[in-house]
Amino acid sequence: MVKTTWIGDVQKGQYNGKEVELMGWIKRERGSNKLRFIVLRDSTGSIQCVGKLDALGEKSFNLLKGILIETSVILKGVVSASEKAPGGHELQISSMEIVGGVNSERPFPINEDSLRVVDENGSPLYGGSEFLLNHRHLYLRVGRQTTMLKLRSSAFGAIHNYFRGQEFIEYQAPNFVAGAVEGGSTLFEVPYFQDEDNPDQKVYLTQSWQLYAEAAMPALERLYTIAPSFRAEQSRTRRHLTEFWHAEMEMAWANNNDIMVHGEGVVRHIAKTMLDECEQELTSIDRDLDLVARYADNPYPRMRYDEAVEILQGKGVKIEWGEDLDHSKESVLTKDFDVPHFLTHYPKIAKPFYHRVDPDDEKYVLCHDLLAPEGYGEIIGGGERTWTEKEILERIDEEGTPRDPYQFYIDVRSYGGVPHGGFGLGVDRVVSWLAGATSIREVIPFPRTSRRFTP
């Protein structure tokens, strides 16, 4: 059985007047005792199909009548253009074969009512209602969620294209690690085999590829990955998962500015690729295409942390110099942004040891976060790395971090260290922001959060 005809192509008018065989799933069914209207869907779209008692004969017609949603079928018939039919085309059914039925005692559980769930502010909870999360495996085939999966695929492709186009080499790091990148509070400990010589050594799931990327930096000079990262995030925001997809890059002979060029480059390339590949999908979920085009076409301004703090204080937000910006503050700050902005030069006390201290003013580190507009907040975190052996030892000791698990990291500096840097981009976050999703949980097939690890 090979499928040759796709509903998306039928809706483009490629088969008008021709007999075709369509394989797909029943999305809707209604009609009278003589005439039934079916909406058939496949991965590329949906189409209205008309079944007439005269044409089908009683046996087939009765099978069609009341056929259950999500039954899989093969329909044969002639395609015609039709102004009344959604999408502009229609199939006159000449024969039908049921491939996989649906148990009438357990009909497809997702319907208009289950999709109409809203939060306390009346916003739709497409990605968040417990019912839809419990039925995630079935929800994936409902229009809006299928669209999110396509947008996601477009973003992954764009990231690979961007980095490979810039001569970066794809490189993989281990997921079982012994040290933290982003601070101990979000580490997931794993019950790993015990090391008899070192029984206290703990093993964790990785929070980032970065430390291992730096080890390969002197070998590859320009490297990137797209891989899962794990963080024991307690916060139940619409932007945090415990398992997320992390696009990271590392680059030798580069400073903070050189790294930001690529952060801007890859995000603009993702926006442009989505517009090129998924205009129809974005429109189908009511996303404003002009906004996405604006993010693709315009440069992203840079602003120092101090300036951001002043703006926030001016808006009456309570923030002290030295605090990291949590999501609520990023959200206020980015409400008025028309494109993403880089925030640079955070206070040293707000950031981990690997961030390079600014030689011009030791209160700051040479780092950046890219904050997305529409109140979305951080999508990239990156910067220059502390790259001399002397400085990395000082920073590690100053932080009170044990040296042992980081010896391999220190060694990168001991043997011909060079200035370098990189960033991490949350792919799910970028897709969620560009798609205008209601939650990050909408754009990952099976979201993992502090309370959710099934199905």
Which parts of this chain interact with ligand ATP (CB under 6 A)?
Answer: 182, 231, 233, 240-241, 244, 246, 327, 378-381, 424-426, 428-429
Rounded Cα distance between 122 and 180, Å, is 39
Task: Compute the least distance from the CB of residue 125 to ligand ATP, in Å.
Answer: 18
Task: Compute the least distance from the CB of residue 213 to ligand ATP, in Å.
Answer: 13
> What's phi and psi for 170, nearest 5 deg?
-75, 135
Task: Compute the least distance from the CB of residue 231 to ligand ATP, in Å.
Answer: 5
- Closer Cβ to ligand ATP, 179 or 381, answer by number: 381
Rounded Cα distance between 407 and 282, Å, is 47
Task: Compute the least distance from the CB of residue 367 to ligand ATP, in Å.
Answer: 9
- Closer Cβ to ligand ATP, 310 or 326, answer by number: 326
Closest CA to 146 of 22, 44, 288, 286: 44
- Closer Cβ to ligand ATP, 15 or 162, answer by number: 162
- Closer Cβ to ligand ATP, 47 or 371, answer by number: 371
Task: Compute the least distance from the CB of residue 293 to ligand ATP, in Å.
Answer: 22
- Closer Cβ to ligand ATP, 27 or 351, answer by number: 351
- Closer Cβ to ligand ATP, 13 or 445, answer by number: 445
- Closer Cβ to ligand ATP, 333 or 379, answer by number: 379
Task: Compute the least distance from the CB of residue 402 to ligand ATP, in Å.
Answer: 20
- Closer Cβ to ligand ATP, 159 or 241, answer by number: 241
Task: Compute the least distance from the CB of residue 150 to ligand ATP, in Å.
Answer: 20
Task: Compute the least distance from the CB of residue 356 to ligand ATP, in Å.
Answer: 15
- Closer Cβ to ligand ATP, 217 or 367, answer by number: 367
Task: Compute the least distance from the CB of residue 385 to ligand ATP, in Å.
Answer: 14
Task: Compute the least distance from the CB of residue 204 to ligand ATP, in Å.
Answer: 15
Q: Which residues of 245-267 are buried (b: 16+ CB within 10 A; e: fewer)?
A: bbbbbbbbebebeebbebbbebb
- Closer Cβ to ligand ATP, 23 or 249, answer by number: 249
